Amino acid sequence: MTSYPVLDKKDTRSGFGEGLLEAAKLDDRVVALCADLTGSLKMDAFAQEFPERFFQVGVAEANMMGMAAGMTVGGKIPFTGTFANFSTGRVYDQIRQSIAYAGKNVKICASHAGLTLGEDGATHQILEDIGLMRMLPGMAVIVPADFNQTKQATMAIAEHEGPVYLRFGRPKWPVFIPADMPFEIGKAQVLSPGKDVSLIACGHLVWNALQAAAALEQQGISAEVINMHTIKPLDQGAVLSSVGKTGCVVTCEEHNRHGGLGDAVAQVLALHHPAPQEIVAVNDSFGESGTPDQLLKKYGLDTPDIVAAAQRAIRRK
């Protein structure tokens, strides 16, 4: 299988911060709003470099979403920054009416998503956000795999016309996507080709999927690893071409098993190419406090869980 050396360990939110700064340098229509989490979202560099284009809105996320929508009238490209929970569930109706239905060019940038937020616990570990956002007509949903890709994705969404939900996280995580690997919204990446099972992952779990593929290779199983960084619009062709070859699939995501990547892939398969699927995701529960590693293990999202799911999927062929 293709090997991906660990280039570094960095948080994806820092990739967002760097990407935002670069996007702002390239396009003066880019503005940013933050709800009292400038440091957590790594937006400090933008705020320092472009103080007149940075809007601190305080702990008032609903107003932030409305302001961002309003700023598009006048041609701005607003990026909002807060935790994933406060970027979605807390402000769903504001996003639905003022951004999605109104078709506004707002980039909703959400950090600290999923279990790997860690010690803060379930109030902050949203596991439903991908589902909430992909149900909104016209909303693109992007979950990049590492620091490099989050930076690329942040710059790419500035050039994409229409509302976007960009989901990233808190912990330092392996950086393994080469900085020069092309990133295109809606175009999945086959990171490692294989023939026995497709591992389709997003976000932090792309790294785990690669580790799982290496472990499976030791058992003589050839796994194809696909980085599905865009959940919507889903790269249906990539799913069908991979599963057409391997005959079964495991989806991997740091999200509730309802509403996320697993559902999106299952819909494609059910409609076009029914095949065994296993879903590595949180089993319809809330999270809890703990370290990211402990939580991934306890909630069944760790590398051995992906390996076991692949074995189950292959048996069901």
Partner 1 sequence: MNATPAATAQNAAVDELRSTASQVRRDIVRMVHACQSGHPGGSLGCTDFLVALYFQVMRHDPANFTMDGIGEDLFFLSNGHISPVFYSVLARSGYFPTAELNTFRKLDSRLQGHPTTHEGLPGVRMASGSLGQGLSVGLGAALAKKLNGDPSLIFTLHGDGELQEGQIWEAAMAAAAKKADNLIATVDWNGRQIDGDVDQVMPLGDLRAKWSAFGWEVLEMDGNDMGAVLHGLNDAISRTGKGKPVMILMRTEMGRGVDFMEGSHKWHGIAPSDEQLQAALKQLPETLGDY
Query: Which of 78, 118, 203, 260 touches partner 1 by CB under 8 A?
Result: 78
Residues 150 and 14: their CA atoms lie apart, in Å, by 8
User: Of the ranges 55-63, 81-89, 193-201, 248-256, which one interacts with partner 1 (CB under 8 A)?
Assistant: 55-63
Q: Is the Cβ of residue 97 or residue 283 nearer to partner 1 in the bound state?
A: 97
Q: Provide the residue type at 222 as one letter.
A: S
CB of 39 to partner 1, least distance (A): 20
Q: Does 82 bind partner 1 (CB under 8 A)?
A: no
Q: Does 162 bind partner 1 (CB under 8 A)?
A: no
Binders of partner 1 among residues 139 to 158 (CB under 8 A) are: none
Query: Which of 22, 44, 63, 290 touches partner 1 by CB under 8 A?
Result: 63
Q: Is the Cβ of residue 82 or residue 251 nearer to partner 1 in the bound state?
A: 82
Query: Which of 76, 172, 297, 312 touches partner 1 by CB under 8 A?
Result: 76
Q: Does 12 bind partner 1 (CB under 8 A)?
A: no
CB of 302 to partner 1, least distance (A): 40
Q: Is the Cβ of residue 132 or residue 145 nearer to partner 1 in the bound state?
A: 132
Q: Is the Cβ of residue 63 or residue 241 nearer to partner 1 in the bound state?
A: 63
Q: Does 31 bind partner 1 (CB under 8 A)?
A: yes
Q: Which of 18, 22, 49, 61 is catalytic?
A: 61
Q: Does 69 bind partner 1 (CB under 8 A)?
A: yes
Q: Does 87 bind partner 1 (CB under 8 A)?
A: no
Closest CA to 79 of 143, 166, 3, 2: 166
What would the x/- binding string for partner 1 be over residues 170 to 189, using CB under 8 A? Answer: --------------------
Output the six-digit token pair for 154: 């942040």
Q: Does 27 bind partner 1 (CB under 8 A)?
A: no
Q: What's the chain look like in SS3?
A: CCCCCCCEEEEHHHHHHHHHHHHHHHCCCEEEEECCCCCCCCCHHHHHHCHHHEEECCCCHHHHHHHHHHHHCCCCEEEEEEEHHHHCHHHHHHHHHHHHHCCCCCEEEEECCCHHHCCCCCCCCCCCHHHHHHCCCCCEEECCCCHHHHHHHHHHHHHCCCCEEEECCCCEEEECCCCCCCCCCCCCEEEECCCCEEEEECCCHHHHHHHHHHHHHHCCCCEEEEECCEEECCCHHHHHHHHHHHCCEEEEEEEECCCCHHHHHHHHHHHHCCCCEEEEEECCCCCCCCCHHHHHHHCCCCHHHHHHHHHHHHHCC
Q: Does 81 bind partner 1 (CB under 8 A)?
A: no
Catalytic residue check, 161: no
Active site residues per annotation = 61
- Name the residues that contact partner 1, by CB under 8 A: 31, 52-53, 55, 57-58, 60, 62-76, 78, 93-94, 96-98, 101-103
